[in-house]
């Protein structure tokens, strides 16, 4: 009899336990969303010959009235910065671009731009001495300055070609202008109006590169008489071409 009573009590206990209401699930805490604090700017460069789009390996007329075909225009941009509406310079450190215009590689996306209003953008065509003569193997293989994918690294000078312009004249003579040397870096600052906010974190802009401006202003460069190649960072050819290039870029405009 005692065994029967114990069994019944055990079943009753199990029944009470089974009927115990489930514990209420703990409310899940949603992770806090991280608001963006900076934006990006995709800059595309239009390469022209005067008022016309540049077409490679086809005849063009240079400011010297010489007919020529350009097969290559490659160059390095760096040292980007913005000027905000408080006239403060906002550096966009360690951002570079390798432009291979003849291949259609004509864009760079600048990142880590703090939200704000900007009235100017600055950059250099070429590199400062420390970067130019630094160890190129420090860069990852996908970096614009990595010698693995940057054919402008000028190994024997332990530096980079800042601009490579190559082609042929109408007479079939090849011209090869490889412009380098930290003293030949060109700095540009262009007026603009860029506004970045949390609601508009991705901007787009364009500017123009005019190949004519390599060969004119202030001096007309004539390949047949001034020379068809540059041999050093201080040669008369390099000095004259660099002297003309202070206005190769123009018409910076925000498109989105």
| Tens of each residue's pLDDT in the chain, 256 residues | 444 433 434 444 444 444 445 555 565 655 555 666 789 999 999 999 999 999 999 999 999 999 999 999 999 999 999 999 999 999 999 999 999 999 999 999 999 999 999 999 999 999 999 999 998 888 998 899 998 888 898 875 679 999 999 999 998 999 999 999 999 999 999 999 999 888 888 999 999 999 999 999 999 999 999 999 998 899 999 999 999 999 999 999 999 8
Q: How far is CA 36 from the centre of its chain?
A: 21
Residue 225 in domain:
no
Q: Tell me the pTM.
A: 0.84
**What are the DSSP E strand ranges found in the chain?**
38-49, 52-53, 59-61, 67-84, 89-92, 97-100, 107-114, 116-125, 153-154, 159-169, 174-180, 186-196, 202-210, 249-254
Which tokens is 170 given? 């109408």
Residue 22 in domain:
no
Residue 52 in domain:
yes
Residue 116 in domain:
yes
Residue 249 in domain:
yes
Residue 8 in domain:
no
For the chain, the domain total comes to 1
Q: Output the CA–CA distances (angstroms, integers) from residue 135 to 10, 140, 146, 155, 186, in the order listed.
A: 80, 12, 10, 11, 22
Q: Output the CA–CA distances (angstroms, integers) from residue 230 to 102, 161, 165, in the order listed.
A: 20, 11, 10
Residue 17 in domain:
no
Specify which residues 100 forms β-bridges with: 74, 105
Residue 247 in domain:
yes
H or E element in which residue 66 lies:
none
The set of residues, in sequence order, having a beta carbon less than 8 Å from that of 47 and lying 6+ positions away, is: 53, 54, 73, 101, 106, 208, 209, 211
Which residues span the domain enclosing 120? Answer: 40-168+179-218+236-254
Report the distance separating Cα 74 and Cα 35, nearest Å.
38
């Amino acid at each position: 009899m005692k065994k029967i009573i114990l069994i019944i009590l055990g079943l009753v206990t199990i029944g009470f336990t089974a009927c115990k209401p489930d514990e209420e699930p703990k409310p899940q805490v949603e992770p806090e969303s991280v608001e963006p604090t900076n934006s990006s700017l995709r800059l595309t460069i239009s390469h022209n010959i005067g008022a016309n789009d540049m077409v490679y390996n086809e005849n063009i007329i240079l400011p010297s009235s010489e007919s020529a075909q350009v097969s290559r225009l490659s160059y390095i941009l760096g040292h980007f910065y913005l000027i905000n509406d408080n006239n403060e310079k906002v550096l966009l450190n360690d951002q570079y671009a390798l432009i291979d215009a003849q291949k259609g590689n004509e864009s760079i996306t600048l990142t880590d731009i703090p939200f704000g209003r900007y009235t100017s953008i600055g950059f250099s065509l070429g590199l400062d001495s420390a970067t130019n003569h630094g160890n190129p193997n420090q860069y990852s293989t996908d970096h614009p300055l990595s010698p693995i994918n940057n054919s402008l690294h000028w190994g024997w000078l332990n530096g980079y070609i800042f601009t490579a312009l190559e082609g042929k004249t109408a007479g079939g003579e090849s011209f090869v202008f490889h412009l380098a040397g930290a003293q030949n870096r060109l700095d540009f600052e262009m007026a603009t109006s860029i506004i970045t906010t949390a609601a508009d974190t991705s901007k787009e802009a364009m500017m123009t590169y005019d190949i004519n401006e390599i060969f004119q202003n202030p001096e007309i460069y004539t390949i047949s008489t001034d020379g068809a190649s540059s041999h050093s960072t201080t040669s008369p050819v390099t000095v004259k071409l660099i002297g003309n290039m202070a206005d190769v870029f123009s018409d910076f405009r925000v498109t989105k």
